[in-house]
Amino acid sequence: MADARRSLVPPVGVVLAGLVLALTGLLPWAGLTAEVGFLGADITHAVHGTDDGSGWFVVASGLVAAALGVLGLTRGWLVTGLAILPGAVAAFSLAMFLTDPSDLANRLSFRIAGVLDVHPTVLYGWFAALLASILVAGFAATALVRRR
């Protein structure tokens, strides 16, 4: 009985992590933060994952991973193991989101000492998506390794 429960951990983990990964595309991933020194306040304009093409890849990867996890419950460990691919696609999409070939981040940053500091920031949604993509890949790899 314990062996049967243990074999359910990777596919159920892939399903849950895949659904969380899909939801992270709706969270704020990056923003432009203005710190006003004399007011002691921060103002942030957020960009959500789905505001960019990379976010849609992450949402789709999460849904595909969850579907593979569900199929893995009925079809076997190899189908669950295939969820490592959408986990990798999500991680690659997250990396592409941060790349800035036009060096836009440096052009957006400026500072007036003690008065105003404007700079781009990476927000919690991006980190949550990265963690969820690692979990998807980890559970999928566990399904593959356990069956060797």
Mean pLDDT, the chain, rounded, equals 84
Question: What percent of the chain stands above pLDDT 70?
Answer: 84
Q: Which of 71, 90, 69, 75 is nearest to 142 (CA)?
A: 69
pLDDT of 115 reads: 73
- Whether 120 shows a pLDDT value over 70: the answer reads yes
- Whether 35 shows a pLDDT value over 90: the answer reads no
- Whether 130 shows a pLDDT value over 90: the answer reads yes
pTM confidence score: 0.82
Q: What letter does residue 52 receive in the DSSP assignment?
A: S
Ordered by where they begin, the domains of the chain are 2-146 (1.20.140)
The CB density around residue 27, as the number of other CB atoms within 10 Å, is: 18
Tokens of 86: 């959408």
Say which amino acid occupies 43.
I
Q: Which pLDDT tens digit goes with each residue over 95-109?
A: 998 886 444 455 556
Rg for the chain (alpha carbons), in Å?
19
Helical packing angle, 124-146 and 2-24, nearest 10°: 150
pLDDT of 33 reads: 80
Which has more confidence, 39 or 118?
118
Report, as an integer, the average pLDDT of 122-137.
95
Which has more confidence, 2 or 55?
55
Tokens of 49: 């994952």
pLDDT of 54 reads: 87
Separation CA 49–CA 27 (nearest Å): 6
Q: Which pLDDT tens digit goes with each residue over 66-79?
A: 999 999 999 888 89
